[in-house]
Structure 1
């Protein structure tokens, strides 16, 4: 159980970091290109959200294979666990996106 919570927390923070870090770096890059940083950061955050989810769970195909093979065999515990990891990663990516929107609220 402890390793499951650790994996879920890591998935959350990896997805959060991908969105937040990528958006912040896009904002820095937009300053050098004379573009509006806040608009670029919000756009980048929304575009990175799905990729952060994919990066956090370890690829787009492997988790689906785990779900498929365990459903076919009738093992629902690993399926629920994998879906839980995906939910944690989604929450991290969503919170990163919302934080960027909140930071850029007055500028956009």
Structure 2
């Protein structure tokens, strides 16, 4: 598999895993302090979504710099690849958040 596809898939699963893991740990923490886990998991998943995307793509400055320099030089292929990587990370974080909302709604 080429670098672009592996990077895209890896960023998807990093963002997905960050949201799922953080929300599950928030649920465990809420049980330890005798609170309902559902609302804590949903709230944490919503708050972690943007940070999961940022962590998956490796920060916010470098991807934007790649897009800017290549766009100004007229090289559109790296720009499209970088946007696809960001969208993949967003999709992973969003799917993780929706899964937590589904699980958290059952816990209510």
**Interval of TM-score (by shorter of Structure 1 and Structure 2):** over 0.9
| Residue 97 of structure 2 is aligned to residue 107 of structure 1 | no
Residues 67-104 of structure 1 deviation map (CA, whole Å, 9 limit, x = unaligned): 01111111110000000000100000000001101111
Q: Does 1:73 align with 2:65?
A: no
Q: How does 1:1-108 map to 2 (within 5 A)?
A: 2-108=2-108
Cα distance in structure 2, aligned partners of 1:14 and 1:83: 17
SS at match of 1:59: coil
Structure-1 separation of matches of 2:77 and 2:46: 32
Q: Offset at 1:55? A: 0.5
Distance 2:33 2:65 in 1: 42
Q: Which runs of no fewer than 5 residues in structure 2 stay unpaired?
A: none
- Output the TM-score relative to the length of structure 2: 0.96
Q: Which runs of 4+ in 1 moved over 4 A?
A: none
Count of paired positions: 108
Give 3-state SS (helix, strand or coil) of 1:18's partner.
helix
- Distance, in Å, in 2 between the alignment partners of 1:64 and 1:23 is 28
**Alpha-carbon distance in 1 for matches of 2:96, 2:27:** 14
Q: What is the rounded CA distance, in whole Å, between the counterparts of 2:104 and 2:59 in structure 1?
A: 30
